[in-house]
Structure 1
Amino acid sequence: MSKEGNRQNTGYVTLDVSYLIRRILRTAFVTVMCAIIVGIGVYIVLDTYMQETYTANINLTVLARDNNSGKQTEYNVNAAVTRNVNVLNSDTLKEKMKKFEAAKGIEGTVAAAQIPGTNLISLSATADTAEHSLRLLKAATESYPELAEYFESGYVVKNMNSFSADNIVKNQPQILQYALLAVVFVLMAGVGLTVLITMFSDKIYSREQGENLLDMDILGVLYRVKKRKGQKGLLVSDALTDPAFIEGMDRLTTHFQQKMDHRGFKIVTVSSIHENEGKTTLAVNLALNLVERGKRVALIEGDLRKPSLTKILEKNVPEGTSVSDLLEGKAELSEVMDRSEKYKGLICLWQKKSVPEADRLLESEQMKKLLQAFRNHTDYVIIDTSPIGIVRDTEILAGLSDAVVLSIRQSEERAAALNDVTDILEEAGTTVIGGVINMAYGKDNSRKRSRYGKYYYDHGNRKNEGK
């Protein structure tokens, strides 16, 4: 798959519903906490600044001044009511009310509305206290007749009831409702933002997406499986290992083998951008699967800073038999090679402990001779290395290898970063034959499995895997 072909798809947008739901659930705690905090904040602010108000109300009736039948038609009455309502709601009346002695200095609102289907007008005044609301209402009713003289001659507006405390209603501020609305808004905004980020993010989460965005093929997808009691490592040779993982590794190995054999490659480096992406388990199981197919395989510990092959394969390495001892000239190849009795055809080169200046050893002539020797006498050489994004050791080993396979933890690595790493590795003189989406959720994961990552790094592996 060409770089140009993939990079034409950098605008690729997809929506995987199951992945989207997982992302929403993953951010649910933060979203809910933000919503709660905002809700509490809104409640406190509104409780501080929103005060109780009181509304005084009176009903007015619009009547014809005489018994003229034309004035008493429904159309004319409604027109008269509408005119009076407009005046009662006008700024002119509000200005006149300010001159009313009893209403001076009172802040509030006055509103009028026709009672549907009648010649009645409901006039209300709202203020901070019951007394103030009643004063505003009186100011409106007593100021209005003077204005009415200028526009209304055929009709008169009369009070239907007297001013009374019984017509005053206490208005409770809807603080809780507003706070709940704020909570709902933040929740919806959080979910919406998660959806947008997910849709336009280039973090690799599926085979289809990877094939559209990456400058490499996707060799396979390894789904999360549950660690079973008594297991020390996730191995295809272990009867306790979930069959789904074994089947996934088998398909992956077939694809890997076809890629390698088609190009005549023998030496492959297995790496990742960051730690805890499953590369060591991938390297080991590739080797074991190839051995099961009758191939001769050399599995080499290339991470001299944080070796982990011994952890997953439970190997106790004697002093003086590590890869670093060979590269430093302290041991012979025959002393370092460990021909497995359990896995016929598998040769392992271990590293007991971390060494300083690992890059100097890896780029030595001795390392080149070692790889050439295994190229001549084995079918495949698999090197487990340190993460690419941490030290330059992987670049050195990649330059000595025919191919590189990258382990990509689902939803953790961006396509842009993976494409940059691909360029770096190929500039070092190797070929990135593909990536493996690791620790994935998906349709093949039919059972509700526990997190592969938890399984993968339990009992000390998490600290020392570094892959």
Structure 2
Amino acid sequence: MQDDLQRGLYDDEIAMDLGGMMDDYLRCFRRYWMQIILALAAVTAATVLYLNITYQPVYEAKITYSVTKTGDTAIDASIAKRLSQTAPGIITGVEFTKEMLAMVEGETINPNYKITASNTEGANLFTITVSANNYLNADTIADLLEVIYPEWASRSSGTVEMQVVDRVESGGVPVNSYSLVDSIVKGIIYGLAFCFICATGYVLTIKTVRKESDMKKITDLGCLALVPEVRFKKRKNKKRNQLLINKKRVDLSFKQSVLSAQQRLEKRLEQSDKKVLLISSALPQEGKSVLSVNLALAFSERGKKTILIDADMRSPSVSSILETDPGKNGLGEYLTGKAGQDNILVRITENLHLIPAGKIKGELSVILDNDRMEKLMEQLKVSYDFIIIDTPPSHMFGDAALMMRYTDASVYVVRYDYAEINEIREGIAEVNRGQKLMGYLLNRGQRGISSYGGYGYGRYGYYGKYEKYSRYVQNSEEEELDTESTL
């Protein structure tokens, strides 16, 4: 029974791995379909060109002999078989070639020919085939063999009677006629094989997270929720429609994922008497700000007095997601002493308040070197049940690590098939100081609960000056197009 159970688990793992590889191949095609089609076309064209250039016609002339020596069919068949085995060696020998060439002018025969022989099993018949790249060459050599070879065969096998029972001339038609269709088919096969090899190389070298088991290479902590990807359709009016759980027509699977994560976090935070939750990710565009906002909304909808702090002063986006005035004083003004606590609070709902990033851009490390942040956090802990802090990407910047001193716990957002494993590992280390990490959210998953994406992540143009990470930066036009919802 135990063995059957283990065998079943093993079979399930194999099925999951195979299914995962198939998903990887499909993702490779979706992502690089244009390059794949171009590669297929290029290999096909190169194959057709090569086969056309290297094509050499082959003409064949054949002579079939019957062998009679004893009158016994079995013995004569044996002699015919032996002659078919020795004929090529005799015919291509130096003396035989001299005698053959002496019968014709040398220029009428070129050395580009091949002699083969075969016998009919159980019969006293064998066939000599002359192959050449010129039909006149093949026919001329066959004519000479018909005259000369019987005498040479008698020298090696004793007196035998050989009669020509069939003679086939080349007729000027090559046996390997060129076919453009066949060349194209071969080219397509070679092209598909090349693309498959390249795709396999891609699949075997993927270093991003695509499933929960990939995260086990990084952390032993579990997944708080699989947040699905929701596809959105572009709208002509360009109206931004943020993906928020308090919207009436929000995707149900997305809302369920957020609520599930919130309930788990609430339970763990209350059990350990913690209030301050930091949320970060390895790279921009992973959806941490949207999830920070939605988790804050989820806490508030459960009757918990919640405040959300946008600590990403490098590229703030929370105000845009919540559709509040981004020009209002915020955390930056408070930390620099330009505004008081009462001047930076924004009421979103009865139970949810926001402290925006403010208009001051820059690094937290420059303005955190005072006691104003600590004082603010102490006051907020008295007034609110939960405090959620959205920070810049922790793999790129040290802001999240600086905020950890004011944080009770942290959650990491990992976007499906985006950041590399080593980037996630290094980023998680920054927000797990003091073992504060409670788990991670696998965002924009392709399988599982469902699908999401297309909402604004905020404009990370500022990060674009870091050349290593510029590939993660999307321009603002693409982001706006992504926000159009069909819900």
TM range (shorter): 0.7 to 0.9
Q: 2:215 maps to which residue? A: 210
Could you tell me how far 1:359 is from its partner in structure 2?
3.0
SS of 1:89's equivalent? Answer: helix
Once the two structures are superposed, residues 192-234 of structure 1 have per-residue CA deviations (whole angstroms, 9 ceiling, x without a partner) of: 6535754674522123443465343211101112447766211
CA distance in 2, matches of 1:363, 1:139: 103
Q: 2:115 maps to which residue? A: 110
Once the two structures are superposed, residues 259-313 of structure 1 have per-residue CA deviations (whole angstroms, 9 ceiling, x without a partner) of: 3233333222211111111111100000000001111111011110111011111
Q: 2:134 maps to which residue? A: 129
Q: 1:391 maps to which residue? A: 397
Q: 1:371 maps to which residue? A: 377
Runs of 5+ consecutive residues of structure 1 not aligned to the other structure: 1-11
Corresponding letter in the other structure for 2:85: N
Q: 1:406 maps to which residue? A: 412
SS of 2:426's equivalent? Answer: helix
Q: 1:283 maps to which residue? A: 292
Mean Cα deviation higher: 88-97 or 143-152: 88-97
Once the two structures are superposed, residues 125-184 of structure 1 have per-residue CA deviations (whole angstroms, 9 ceiling, x without a partner) of: 222221122233345445534542343125333333557564864531356435533432
| Residue pair 1:224, 1:440 contacting (<8 A) in 2 also | yes
Once the two structures are superposed, residues 329-388 of structure 1 have per-residue CA deviations (whole angstroms, 9 ceiling, x without a partner) of: 111111111233xx2221201124461344312454322322232233322211111112
1:248 aligns with 2:257: yes
Superposed counterparts of 1:50-449, under 5 Å: 50-55=55-60, 57-65=61-69, 68-69=70-71, 72-73=72-73, 75-90=74-89, 93=92, 95-96=94-95, 98-99=97-98, 100-101=100-101, 102=106, 105-115=110-120, 118-142=123-147, 144-145=149-150, 147-161=152-166, 164=169, 166=171, 169=174, 171-174=176-179, 176-191=181-196, 194-195=199-200, 197-198=202-203, 201-211=206-216, 214-227=219-232, 232-319=241-328, 321-340=329-348, 343-353=349-359, 355-427=361-433, 429=434, 431-445=436-450
CA distance in 1, matches of 2:395, 2:425: 13
CA distance in 1, matches of 2:336, 2:250: 38
Could you tell me how far 1:106 is from its partner in structure 2?
2.5
CA distance in 2, matches of 1:136, 1:453: 75
| Residue pair 2:410, 2:432 contacting (<8 A) in 1 also | no
Mean Cα deviation higher: 303-312 or 376-385: 376-385
| Residue pair 1:59, 1:120 contacting (<8 A) in 2 also | no
1:15 aligns with 2:14: no
Runs of 5+ consecutive residues of structure 2 not aligned to the other structure: 1-13, 459-474, 481-487
Q: 2:467 maps to which residue? A: none
Seq. identity, %: 19
| Residue pair 2:47, 2:183 contacting (<8 A) in 1 also | yes
Q: 1:421 to 1:443 in 2, by over 3 A?
A: closer
Once the two structures are superposed, residues 386-430 of structure 1 have per-residue CA deviations (whole angstroms, 9 ceiling, x without a partner) of: 112322222222343222211111122333432232233334x46
CA distance in 1, matches of 2:315, 2:93: 81
Mean Cα deviation higher: 249-258 or 151-160: 151-160
Q: 1:49 maps to which residue? A: 54
Corresponding letter in the other structure for 2:260: R
Q: 1:426 to 1:331 in 2, by over 3 A?
A: same
SS of 1:171's equivalent? Answer: coil
| Residue pair 2:319, 2:325 contacting (<8 A) in 1 also | yes
SS of 2:316's equivalent? Answer: coil
Could you tell me how far 1:325 is from its partner in structure 2?
0.8
Once the two structures are superposed, residues 34-80 of structure 1 have per-residue CA deviations (whole angstroms, 9 ceiling, x without a partner) of: 2221111111122112232322x223222214xx44xx22x223211
CA distance in 2, matches of 1:397, 1:352: 17
Corresponding letter in the other structure for 1:384: D
| Residue pair 1:310, 1:352 contacting (<8 A) in 2 also | no
Mean Cα deviation higher: 296-305 or 108-117: 108-117
Q: 1:318 to 1:128 in 2, by over 3 A?
A: closer
CA distance in 2, matches of 1:154, 1:315: 110
Q: 1:367 to 1:461 in 2, by over 3 A?
A: farther
Once the two structures are superposed, residues 430-459 of structure 1 have per-residue CA deviations (whole angstroms, 9 ceiling, x without a partner) of: 6221111111121433xxx6xx33344599
| Residue pair 2:391, 2:400 contacting (<8 A) in 1 also | yes
| Residue pair 2:395, 2:426 contacting (<8 A) in 1 also | no
| Residue pair 1:281, 1:312 contacting (<8 A) in 2 also | yes
CA distance in 1, matches of 2:114, 2:389: 81
| Residue pair 1:204, 1:210 contacting (<8 A) in 2 also | yes
CA distance in 2, matches of 1:394, 1:405: 11
CA distance in 2, matches of 1:129, 1:367: 92
Q: CA RMSD in A?
A: 3.1
| Residue pair 1:278, 1:407 contacting (<8 A) in 2 also | yes
Task: Give the length in aligned residue pairs.
Answer: 438
CA distance in 1, matches of 2:149, 2:281: 82
Q: 1:168 to 1:339 in 2, by over 3 A?
A: closer
| Residue pair 2:333, 2:359 contacting (<8 A) in 1 also | no
CA distance in 1, matches of 2:173, 2:77: 27
Using structure 1 for the length normalisation, give the TM-score: 0.83
Q: 1:35 to 1:246 in 2, by over 3 A?
A: same
| Residue pair 2:395, 2:423 contacting (<8 A) in 1 also | no
Using structure 2 for the length normalisation, give the TM-score: 0.80
| Residue pair 1:63, 1:157 contacting (<8 A) in 2 also | yes
